[in-house]
Structure 1
Amino acid sequence: MNPRIRDLAVPRSLTAAAAARPDGDLVLTGIHLEWTVGGNGGDAGPPVDWNDGRAPYPHFYEVWLNGGEIRQTAALFWGTEAPSWQAARTHWVCLGTDPDPEYRVTIRARLADGTWSPFTEEVLVGTEDARAYSAVAPAVHPVPHPEPAARHGRLDHPVSRAVLICEDEETEACRRARRLTGGLDVSSAGTVPAVTPPVAAMRADPPWNGSYLEYRKFFRGGDVASAGNPSFAGLDLAGEWPTTVLSAADRAHSFTHRATAHRGDATWTHQWFVTRDDWDPTRAVSWDDLEPVPFMTEVHGAPGVTHHTTEALPPKKSGRHVIVDVWGGHGGPALHDGGFAGEFFVSCSDVEFV
C-alpha cells in the first residue's frame, strides 16, 4: 500500500461529546464522534479528495471505550450527494439509558491493506450534560416509494430462533415455540420471514422519525426475540434452545444472513447486541439483559451485504448467551398521509462461548 495513501486514510483529530436522543418515552445517551480523514475535516463544501463519493476513506472502524473494556465495530457507508462526506467522518455510539458518568474513547480504522491504523489519542467524555442529538448529515435521502419485500434476511450463522422453529423438528424447545407461534410459515424450510413488531404498532408510533430509527420504545419486558409481536410469542420462550458454539479465544467472529438483510433504501442500519454476563438463560430475553453498547453497527450499509465480521465481541464471555441483531430504517407500512412509518426486524441467536 502506498505510504502516502495509507497515511491519508488514518483517522486523526478526534473529538467527542455526549449526545442524547429520544426513543419514545426513553432517552438514549450516546457519544457523538467526529474526526478528520484524508482531506475530510468537516468543511461546508466537499473535500478536495471527495471524488463524488468515491474518496478512499475507510469504511470500517473500531471504537474503544475505557482502554478497550468496551469495543464496537462500526461500518460506515455514505451516498454521493451533498453533504454525505460528513457521514464518512462521524459516528454516534449508543450507551443506552443508564450510562456511566464518563468514558475514555479512541478509534482506529481498517485500512485498504487489511491492517489497522494506529489509534487516535484518547478523549475523555462526560455524560451528565449530554447535548441534544442531531444528525450531522443524512447519508442519503429516503426512497419515496420503497419496493415491498417479503423477506429481509434472517441470521443463519449463528442460527436464529426463527430459522430453528421452522427447521428443527427434534428439539423440544423448538417444538414448544412452534406451537405458540402463528407468525412464521413452518410449512417450508425455505421461507422464514423476518420478525417485526405488529404493523398496527408501527403505524401508531412510527419507528422512523425522519432522522433515525426508534426501536427501544417497542420493547416492554421479555419480548426481545418476538419484537413485541404476539404472532411470534414462541420465540420468547426460555429453555434449552439449540446453540451455535463460538470460541471465546477467537479474535474475529463472523455473522451471516441466508438472504439479503438490507432493503434498497440506504437509510437502513444494523445494530448487534449480546447478553450481559449475569443473564439467566432460564428467563426470556429483555432489553435490560443486553449489554447497552452494541458490539457491531452498520450505518447506511451497502445493499446485498450478507456477511459481517467483528473483532469487538467482549473477549471474556463464557457459557450461554444470546446475540440480537436489530436492523431497519425508512419504508415499511404506509401511513394515511402517503408516507411510510419505517420498520425494523429482530433476529435472536443462542450461542455458547467455549
Structure 2
Amino acid sequence: MLTLRDLNRATLARQHLLAPSPRSPGEVVAAVAGLQAQEPRPPYLGLWARLASFERSEAHAALHERALVRATMWRGTLHLVTAEDFAAFRPLLTPVLGGALAARFPGVSFDGVLEAAGELLAEGPMTFNELRPRLLERFPDINERALGYAVRMGSPLIMAPTGDPWSFPRDAAFGVPGIELAPAPVERLIERHLAAFGPATVADVQAWSGLSGLKPVMYGMPLERLRDDRGRELFDVPGAPLPGGSVAAPVRFLPEFDTLLLGFADRSRVVDPGFAVTTKNLRVRAVYLVDGFVAGTWQLKRTARAATVLLSPFLDVPVATLEEEALRLLAFAEPDATTHTVRIAP
C-alpha cells in the first residue's frame, strides 16, 4: 500500500525534483514527457528547477537544431518536447484534437482549410495573425478565429524559434516541422506517462494525455498493479523509482503551467485540493514546494533595476526557508537586475 507521501516522492523523483539532475535538457524533457509551454519562459524555468546545471543557451540551441520543439501536444496545449516524441506521439493525438475542433465548431468541414494552410506554410513560418487573413480570402464563410483554431488543432506544426531571450516572441510563428511522423503504439505513450508521473490511475493517464478508453489497454499491458491508502488501483512500469515517503524533498520553485501540476486527474499527491493554483481563466499559477507539496504561489516582479519574487503563501513557512532557492531563481531569470529580493505579497 502506498501512502500519499510515497506517491509524492515517487513523482518528484521521476520529475527530477528530488535531486538536481546531471542529465542534458533534452534528456530531462524526454524523461518528464514534455514541459508545458503555453508561454515562452515557463519551460526554461521548469528545466532550471530540474537540472544541476543549466544555461538558456542549451535549450536555445536545441530548439534551433530541432532536437527540441514547441508544439501543440497533450490536451491541445503547447508543450516543449523532443523531436522524437513529437514524431511518435503527435499522430496519436490527432483524434483527440480533431474531436475538440468538431465539438467547438459542429457541422463545419475544415479539410480544405487544412490543405490550404499546408500550402501557405510551405512558403515559410507564419504567425496566426498573418495566416488567418490569407485563409479568410479563400474561406470567407468560416469565422476567422475558427480558421486559426482549425489549423492549430488539425495540423502537426511546430513553433519557429527566434533569437528572443526565451527563444520565442509572444506572437510566435508556426511552421511545418520538417520531421517525419512515425506513430508509436499507444502502449508506449502509457509507459511514458507512468515513467514520468507514476504510479497512477487510468484516469490520471487519460487526464494528462487527453485520450480516452485506455483502461482495457492498460489491463492488457505487463504493468505493476499497486494500491494506495484510499484503495485505488494504480499502475506502474516495472522497476520505476519508489523512494518512499520518508525521503527529504528540497524547496523547489516551479513556473506557471508546470507539468508536475498537470499530470493527474487527482493532484492531491502534490497539492492540497483546497489550494487555488488555477485561475478562473485556467492559468496554472507558479508554485513553490516545501517538503514536496505546494506551499504557496509566487510571482516575479521587475522594475528597471530590481527583480523581486513575491510569495503568496498557503502555509506558514518562514521566508528564510525559501530565500536561498528564490534568489537562485532570480539569478537565472533576471541576471541583469542589480538587486534581487524576496518578500511576501501584500
Same fold (TM over 0.5): no
Q: Which has the higher strand share?
A: 1
